[in-house]
Amino acid sequence: MAVTLEKDGSIAVVTVDSPPVNALSRDLRQELIDAAEAADADPDIEAVVLMGAGRAFIAGADVSEFDRLPEPPHLPDVVARIETAKKPWIAAIHGAALGGGMEVALGCRFRIAAPGTRLGFPEVALGVVPGAGGTVRTPRLVGFDKAVALVTGGKPVGEEEAKAIGLIDAIAEGDLRQAALSFARAALGKPMPSPLAARDVAAPHEGFWVEAETRLAKRGEGAARLRALACLKRAAEADFAAAMAHERATFLELRASDEAAALRHVFFAERAASRPPELKGIEPRPIRSAGVVGGGTMGAGIALALRRTGLPVVLLERDEAAAARGLDNFRDLVGGMVKRALVSEPEADELLAGLSVTTEIRALGDADLVIEAVFEEIGVKRDVFARLDGVCRPDAILATNTSYLDPRRIVAGLGDPERYVGLHFFSPAHVMKLLEIVPLPETAPEVLATAFALAARLGKVPVKAGICEGFIGNRILKRYRAAAEDLLRQGAAIADIDAAMRGFGFRMGPFEAQDMGGLDIAYLQREGARAAGEPVLETLADILVRVGRKGRKTGAGWYDYAESAAAPTPSSEVGELLAAHVGGGPSLSGEAIAARLVSEMAEEGAAILAEGIAVAAKDIDLVEIHGYGFPRWRGGPMFHASRRGAKRFADDLGRPPSPALAAFLSAG
């Protein structure tokens, strides 16, 4: 039994206990209805307090049921049964009341929440809309302005804000159960508010919906947000029953959509990635202090990411001038967060107070973890680790932030190999969620477990990557860029390729992204490899860098960035520079361009999977979504490929897929 009913005097306490988060599975929905029947049938019961056991009140519908047809009792019926119960129900909320959990709470006559509770409607993040009255009851409680923000924004609110907007009636002081029992007893002595279904709602001002729709359309993140707005609009125009019917039809339609399937795929992939099965039961080491070597953009970003978790950080640079620059870099990043109101001034002061910048490596002697983020050159990195070995505690974990070098070469022949690990952050490191964790063959399991625990503490999405050039993300990026240049060679225009990828859902296309980051970074890597005797093909980007076209920072890259121009402009110089290399191939539509480039990414992903560099296809999807801007609502290149299926791949690629990709596609 996941739902129990016990009595405290004349108040029934109905407790939902379905670990891990009381998701509203079919059985749980039936047991809630049974509890409402039992409470109504018991003449001694005057009111019902509804609580959740464990970490959350109710986390929402059971998302794992969404790949199957909906089974009765359906959640709207459960909510209606609670709402029409003879005895008033009081939702006693802790942890989280999200989606269907919030909708159940809206079916209750009152809502009381404990401090630290998150309440809201994350459905749009799953590609659906609330499906059990969220878009119809919420405006009746908090008005349309707040309801639109809650439902289309998808971001939960805390108990203070929930109380302020009227989503809850009270914040529990002390023990939630006792507070709810007292609240229930007090409520019985007062006039009972009408159920939300019976309340009218004032329509919003003229122009409200157009403004909201314009704002949401700019986000361009799939269809769910705009469809949720349409449900709220219906709730303003139609009666309760008609609005509920519209909402339910929209929910059922979206629940079956590719976008919702993609977002569910990512939802579960993120959770699986944070808990690799091979680390189950392995205790991470405690991290109470950290060091970062290198105060450049990456090092300062990593230091800030660590500081934001409250860790004291020692930032080491080679000399006073570099140390001063490192501190300035850190200050600039913190200042940027203050400007964006992500941290307050006092928090900014605290972030700075916990950072000490030094040129003395022995200052790292007591750090539990040290992350190297110096210049991407093997000799420079080896020197850093040789020195760290001499001063750090034997149980300190030493990590390299290298983005494509082989960590084994960096630390070969140095100290205890079990303590090294690759932690590849993405710039800006205090913002980007992806963290590629690259174990060496000798990395100790608890060192790896500590890396994953650190990722969770940093709020990052960790993905374990094997060792190859570029690990997972940069290896696919290299393939993506080469494929984009191939399309150039075949005659496609730079601006058309970028537009096609923005149309697919990327914030930027491959060429504008290179201009943003700088063409010279990859160019230097290629030149380094060529100098080391590796057979590295000439790229079209090489031609541009050699004439100084390094991107935005030089005012010219794949595009021209004239001061006067409002936006980057296609460059005639680039046309001349590349004229000898681009031919008049068949022109491709935007869809065909996107299909081609995403397929090339998927083909590289299939090779990465076949080589064991990635443990699972879903990990590759997480890397692309959280590290490279692949649209989340497309699910990632591997998910997208598996949904497109093998038969369309020959067309997309313009050639038969590789054996690895064909094998991946046939595995289904």
Which of these ranges, 119-127, 180-188, 189-197, 489-497, lies near ligand T1G under the rule CB under 6 A?
A: 119-127
Region 54-93 residues binding ligand T1G, contact defined as CB under 6 A? 55-56, 59-64, 75
Nearer to ligand T1G, 81 or 479 (CB): 81
Query: Min. distance of Cβ 151 from ligand T1G in angstroms?
Result: 10
Beta carbon nearer to ligand T1G, 134 or 276: 134
**20 secondary structure, DSSP code:** T
CB of 202 to ligand T1G, least distance (A): 24
512, 498 Cβ separation under 8 angstroms: yes
Q: Is residue 443 within 8 Å of 420, Cβ to Cβ?
A: yes
Identify the CA nearest to 265 among candidates 63, 19, 465.
63
| Known catalytic membership, residue 71 | no
Helices 320-339 & 345-353 angle (0-180, nearest 10): 160
Residue 100 or 557: the one with the smaller Cβ distance to ligand T1G is 100
CB of 132 to ligand T1G, least distance (A): 5
Compute the least distance from the CB of residue 87 to ligand T1G, in Å.
24
Rounded CA separation 259/123 (Å) = 12
Only one of the segments 96-104, 257-265, 383-391, 441-449 lies at the binding site for ligand T1G (rule: CB under 6 A); that segment is 96-104
Question: Token pair for residue 594?
Answer: 């996107």
Neighbours of 360 (CB within 10 A): 11
Q: Left (φ > 0), alpha (ψ -120 to 50) or beta: where does 87 sit? A: beta
Contact between residue 295 and residue 357 where contact means Cβ atoms under 8 Å apart? yes
Identify any residues that bridge with 90 across adjacent strands, giving them in sequence order. 49, 110
Which of these segments, 97-105, 191-199, 629-637, 653-661, binds ligand T1G (CB under 6 A)? 97-105
Residue 16 as a binder of ligand T1G (CB under 6 A): the answer is no
Beta bridge partners, 461, equal: 434
Give the integer Cα–Cα distance in Å for 427 and 411.
Answer: 24
List 46, 103, 603, 624, catalytic entry? 103
User: In the complex with ligand T1G, which residue's Cβ is closer, 252 or 536?
Assistant: 252
**What is the sign, positive or negative, of the torsion defined by CA atoms of 497, 502, 504, 507?**
positive
Pick the binder of ligand T1G from 107, 120, 127, 131 (CB under 6 A).
131
Nearest distance in Å: CB 105, ligand T1G? 12
Nearer to ligand T1G, 56 or 397 (CB): 56
Residue 603, helix vs strand vs coil: helix
Min separation Cβ 296 and ligand T1G, Å: 33
Shorter beta-carbon distance to ligand T1G: residue 232 or 556: 232
CA separation for the pair 511, 533 (Å, rounded): 28
Q: H/E/C letters for each residue in 55-95?
A: CCCECCECHHHCCCCCCCCCHHHHHHHHHCCCCCEEEEECC
Residue with smaller CB distance to ligand T1G, 126 or 323: 126
DSSP secondary structure letters along 295-337: -SHHHHHHHHHHHTTT--EEEE-SSHHHHHHHHHHHHHHHHHH
Work out which of 79, 96, 323, 522 binds ligand T1G, going by CB under 6 A.
96
- Of residues 522-551, those binding ligand T1G (CB under 6 A): none
* Number of other residues whose CB lies within 10 A of the CB of residue 319: 9
The stretch among 129-137, 374-382, 553-561, 605-613 that binds ligand T1G (CB under 6 A) is 129-137
The one among 31, 83, 123, 496 contacting ligand T1G by CB under 6 A? 123
Question: One of 123, 270, 512, 624 is an active-site residue; which one?
Answer: 123
CB of 476 to ligand T1G, least distance (A): 26
Q: What binding mask, one character per residue, do residues 340-369 give for ligand T1G by CB under 6 A, x or -?
A: ------------------------------
- Cβ closest to ligand T1G, residue 224 vs residue 613: 224
Q: Which is nearer to ligand T1G, 61 or 300 (CB)?
A: 61
Which span sits near ligand T1G by CB under 6 A: 99-107, 349-357, 546-554, 601-609? 99-107
Closest CB 650 distance from ligand T1G, rounded Å: 36
Which residue in the set 35, 83, 93, 99 belongs to the binding site for ligand T1G (CB under 6 A)? 99
Q: Which is nearer to ligand T1G, 116 or 310 (CB)?
A: 116
Name the one range near ligand T1G by CB under 6 A: 94-102, 104-112, 501-509, 608-616: 94-102
Segment interacting with ligand T1G, rule: CB under 6 A, options 51-59, 174-182, 537-545, 628-636: 51-59
In this structure, how many other beta carbons lie within 10 angstroms of the beta carbon of residue 301? 24
The DSSP element (H or E) to which 130 belongs, if any, is: none
Q: What is the spatial distance between Cα 586 and Cα 584, in angstroms, rounded to a whole number?
A: 7
Q: For residues 258-297, which are near ligand T1G according to CB under 6 A?
A: 268, 271
Report how many residues bind ligand T1G under the rule CB under 6 A.
27
- Smallest gap from Cβ 121 to ligand T1G, in A, equals 7
| Half-sphere exposure (Cβ direction) of 579: Cα atoms closer than 13 Å | 6
Q: Is the peptide bond before 20 cis (omega within 30 degrees of 0)?
A: yes
Q: Helix (H, G, I), strand (E, B), or coil: what is residue 497? A: helix
DSSP state of 424: E
Q: Cα separation of 213 and 218, whole Å?
A: 9
Q: Does 512 bind ligand T1G (CB under 6 A)?
A: no
Q: Residue 197 to residues 68, 83, 180, 241, 511: CA-CA distances in angstroms? A: 29, 8, 23, 9, 53
CA–CA separation, 420 and 223 (whole Å)? 44
Q: Which listed residue (11, 14, 23, 279) binds ligand T1G by CB under 6 A?
A: 23
Closer CB to ligand T1G, residue 122 or residue 422? Answer: 122
Provide the minimum distance between the beta carbon of 114 and ligand T1G in the complex, in angstroms, as a whole number: 15
Binder of ligand T1G out of 52, 122, 127, 473 (CB under 6 A): 122
User: Considering the rule CB under 6 A, would residue 98 count as an interface residue with ligand T1G?
Assistant: yes
CA atoms within 13 A on the CB side of 195: 20
Q: Which of 20, 286, 394, 535 binds ligand T1G (CB under 6 A)?
A: 20
Name the residue with tokens 């203070």.
160
C-alpha 57: how far from chain center: 23
SS3 per residue for 155-210: CCEEHHHHHHHCCCCEECCCCHHHHHHHHHHHHHCCCCCCCHHHCCCCCCCCCHHH
In the numeric block, which tokens belong to residue 88? 């008033």
Site for ligand T1G in 551-610 (CB under 6 A): none
Identify residue 641 by its one-letter amino acid code: A
Least distance to ligand T1G from the beta carbon of 79, Å? 9
Binders of ligand T1G in range 420-459 (CB under 6 A)? none
Q: Which is nearer to ligand T1G, 55 or 199 (CB)?
A: 55
In angstroms, give the least distance from the CB of 178 to ligand T1G: 24
Choose one: 17-25, 212-220, 429-437, 574-582; the region binding ligand T1G (CB under 6 A).
17-25
Tokens representing residue 122 in the block: 């994350």
Residue ranges in contact with ligand T1G by CB under 6 A: 20-21, 23, 55-56, 59-64, 75, 96, 98-100, 103, 122-123, 126, 128, 130-132, 134, 268, 271
What residues are labeled active site? 103, 123
